[in-house]
A = this chain, B = another copy of it.
Amino acid sequence: MAYMLYYWDGIPGRGEFVRLALEYAEAEYVDVARESGGTERLMAMLKGEHAVMVPFAPPFLKDGDVLVSHVANILLYLGDRLELAPADDAGRFHANGLQLTITDIVAEVHDCHHPIGTSLYYEEQKDEAKRRSENFLIDRLPKFLGYFEKVLAHNAQSGTFAVGSRLTYVDLSLFHLVDGLRYAFPQAMEGDHARYQRLLALHDHIRELPAIASYLASERRLDFNQSGIFRHYPELDALNGP
């Protein structure tokens, strides 16, 4: 039976971390909201249509009777089933911890353009967004990327991947994180090749994998835009800009 992925249509957003895992594993799945009538079906689930579980927000994944919400939780669930996670407990919890650190930086990237509230437009919080983004680029981005670089260096089992000896969903998410950061903050991300060598090498490695390359070239892959998590506002990318 196909996995049913529920996520907002029109943006890569948080759903993209799940899509990449499904695509890499060549799993059968339906991107529900992109089908005809799909957004209505997504909304019905949010209103409590499922007998057991009401999700707080997309993305969530339905696999038969099981409903799993939140990116890291979905990837934990898929990790075992699609062989995208270490088989041992220590490795599985290690991978989940790394994924939750990715969750944290993704939330901070979102708050760069929405530091006051998601219910307000960007235009209503531009001054605060500029201040928050400056703090993010100076203080938080190097901390997170430096951390992931250290994680890759610390993994004695692989010269390429984050956990254990094989590719896991964490590596696919790191690929998307780098991709999104380069879209949102091209200036700030420029020239960091020496500093984040392993992380950028991982990004390049993932991009060339046949299943990923084919997905990226397909219509299933949505472009970054000004409605998702990763948005490009030049005024937020410039540390000493206007």
A residues sitting closer than 8 Å to B (CB atoms) are: 48, 51-56, 60, 65-70, 72-73, 76-77, 89-90, 93-94, 96-97, 100-101, 103-104, 107, 111, 115-120, 128, 131-132, 135-136, 139-140, 144, 147, 150-151, 154, 156
Question: Measured between C-beta atoms, what is the minimum distance from A3 to chain B in Å?
Answer: 13
Q: Name A93's contact: one of B73, B94, B120 (CB within 8 Å).
A: B73
Distance between Cα atoms of A53 and B66 in the complex (Å): 31
**Residue from B103, B115, B147 in contact with A115 in the complex, judged by beta carbons closer than 8 Å:** B115
Select the residue from A54, A119, A120, A156 with max chain B CB neighbours within 10 A.
Answer: A54
Nearest-CB residue, chain B, relative to A101: B56
CB pair B90–A66 under 8 Å, yes or no, is yes
Residue in B90, B100, B135 whose beta carbon sits within 8 Å of that of A70 in the complex: B100
Report Cα–Cα, A205/B48, bound state, in Å.
26
Given A93-B66, A147-B54, do A154 and B107 touch, yes or no (CB 8 Å)?
Answer: no
Let me know if B117 and A89 touch, CB within 8 A.
no
With beta carbons under 8 angstroms apart, the residue of B66, B100, B132 that contacts A73 is B100
CB distance from A129 to the nearest CB of B (A): 10
Q: For residue A115, which residues in chain B have a CB less than 8 angstroms away from its CB?
A: 111, 115-116, 128, 132
Q: Are A97's CB and B53's CB within 8 A?
A: yes
Tell me if B119 and A139 are in contact (CB < 8 A): yes
Q: Is the CB of B147 within 8 A of A56?
A: yes
Distance of A76 Cα from B72 Cα, bound (Å): 12
Output the least CB separation between A189 and chain B (Å).
Answer: 19
Assuming A52-B90, A70-B101, A94-B67, is B117 touching A132 (CB within 8 A)?
yes
Interchain Cβ contacts under 8 Å between A and B, 5 examples: A54-B150, A56-B144, A60-B97, A69-B101, A76-B96
Q: Is the CB of B154 within 8 A of A54?
A: yes
A22 to chain B: closest CB distance in Å?
17
Q: Is B94 a contact of A116 with CB atoms below 8 Å? A: no
**In the complex, are the beta carbons of B53 and A94 less than 8 A apart?**
yes
Q: A48-B150, A116-B132, A150-B48 are in contact. Are A97 and B139 (CB under 8 A)?
A: no
How far apart are A172's CB and chain B's nearest CB, in angstroms?
19
Known: A96-B76, A117-B140. A54 touches B151 (CB 8 A): yes
Contact (Cβ within 8 A) A94 B52: yes
